[in-house]
Structure 1
């Protein structure tokens, strides 16, 4: 037990350090911002580390779902880190004159390719202030396309894990640890509740990237401020636009899978009862 506790605490420390570094990375790499913004980023990085440590060091988390249902959270964190790195690379001015300029040009070409009418990237770019320099618009376009592509790959990877990886595995699924906010005794059929929540999450995951940019008056102010003063904030605005809906869609797939497993288990129990009565 002591060895297990030490291992859990050590892994929680590593995860906390990684999340703190991930939050601070855009600010560290871009090197822009006022002293106040740098202090704010440091505060957010510290809060992310403390939250991650408390969730993973505890016996049961309070907010993080599917903590022990690998590789759910590993897929999410890997995709998030990749998206943040790509968005930061696109917005890094000094990298355009280095060996990474081919990489930078490739992402910009991909951004132009997917920026077609009625797509989420096109709607997001359409919310930018009209007086922005063309190169800033191109950077936002490229970063949005890269981040949105990574979010779609994250969903596809998890769907493949469910289909061919038999997620969450053949072992017992601990609802108390993996779904801390879900109360199976709250009333109503568990399968129906899981399916309803899954459908809501999937619908929101599909619609939010399209609906959010339509609120142009709300998005124009943070975009304008981030582009002119805080490039690191722009990284997180674009990342949140793509990854909050993608996380909802991924959660919907997970809940739908759990509902299917429970329904299949009930069917097996009914067949076993029928056979027992026949004998």
Structure 2
């Protein structure tokens, strides 16, 4: 986790000492929090910690997003006469597929066009396309794993309290209703965020100083947050639907068993 946070500072050339120190502090805090969460008997806030590969896929998606974005931003300073790299080719291919009218990538391109004096719009668009492709692949992998490989009960029983520590099944309406309601909300918000974030970012650029986007680390984290937050919400929605399906199936079996006992 510490290495993940420090990727932009490690990859980008000419990182200032203040930025490196801040990245090191945040990386240390993230590492301590993650270590404490996974080595504590009692959960705090991290969900599905004992239901792999939920958090592993999220970590890998964010890792590749930061790594790819950092390499692409660092590569803009190399000689233009040199041939393009494989990562550049992947970014351009992703842009060709995802940069169409009214797409999230096109909205990000329009947003960064308002700050074209500080941001390389073409580079930001290609990075956004590649990051969106990475998160879409991660989401597809998790959906396949949850749908066809019996997640999260393939290897062990699912502990509701440890994996959903912030969800109280005893309060409010029926737990199935609340799980499905939260799942719908997470899926809807996760679908809308790639469209909402560019609009909010455009409002911010118009109201405040857009020169901060000229800092490569900030640009990388903005693009990664735009791609990663929707992935997290949609993965959580899929996971909650799967947990609700497990509870519903267990109830159906219990009711069937009661009916058999009454017939006897």
Aligned length: 260
SS of match in other structure, 2:50: coil
Structure 1: segments with no counterpart, 5+ residues: 1-18
Moved over 4 A (4+): 94-100, 219-223
Displacement after TM superposition at 1:85 (Å): 1.1
> What is the Cα deviation at residue 146 of structure 1?
0.8
- Partner of 1:5 in structure 2? none
Q: Which residue of 2 aligns with 1:12?
A: none
Name the residue aligned to 2:120.
136
Please state whether the residue corresponding to 1:139 is helix, strand or coil.
Answer: helix
For residue 256 of structure 1, what is the aligned residue in structure 2?
241
SS in structure 1 at match of 2:111: coil
| Corresponding residue to 2:211 among 200, 209, 225 | 225
What are the within-5 Å matches in structure 2 for residues 5-16 of structure 1?
Answer: none
**Secondary structure of the structure 2 residue equivalent to 1:141:** helix
Aligned partners of 2:90 and 2:130 also within 8 Å: no
Matched with 1:72 is 54
Say which of 18, 28, 31 aligns to 1:49.
Answer: 31
Give the 5 Å matches for 1:117-196: 117-130=101-114, 132=116, 136-170=120-154, 171-196=156-181
The structure with the greater share of residues assigned to helix is: 1
Q: Distance in 2 between matches of 1:23 and 1:209?
A: 22
Q: Is the contact between residue 89 and residue 95 of structure 1 (CA under 8 Å) also seen in structure 2? A: no
Indicate if the aligned counterparts of 2:114 and 2:205 stay in contact, CA closer than 8 A: no
Partner of 2:41: 59
Aligned: 1:116 with 2:100: yes
Shift of 1:102: 3.9
Counterparts of 2:151 and 2:241, CA distance in 1:
12
Matches within 5 A, 1:18-29: 19-29=1-11
Q: Report the Cα offset of residue 223 of structure 1.
A: 9.2
Query: Normalized against structure 1, the TM-score is what?
Result: 0.86
Per the alignment, residue 67 of structure 2 pairs with 85
Residue matched to 2:224: 239
**Matches of 1:138 and 1:52 in 2, distance apart?**
36
Q: Is the 8 A contact 1:108 1:141 kept in 2?
A: no
Cα contact 1:96–1:104 (8 A) shared by 2: no
2:16 paired with 1:31: no
Deviates more, 1:245-254 or 1:81-90: 81-90
Q: CA deviation at 1:145?
A: 0.6
Q: Deviations over 1:93-127 (max 9, x none)?
A: 36855776243244134324421110011111111
Instruction: Output the TM-score relative to the length of structure 2.
Output: 0.90
The 2-side partners of 1:223 and 1:22 are apart by 28
1:276 aligns with 2:261: yes
Distance in 1 (alpha carbons) for counterparts of 2:203 and 2:136: 27
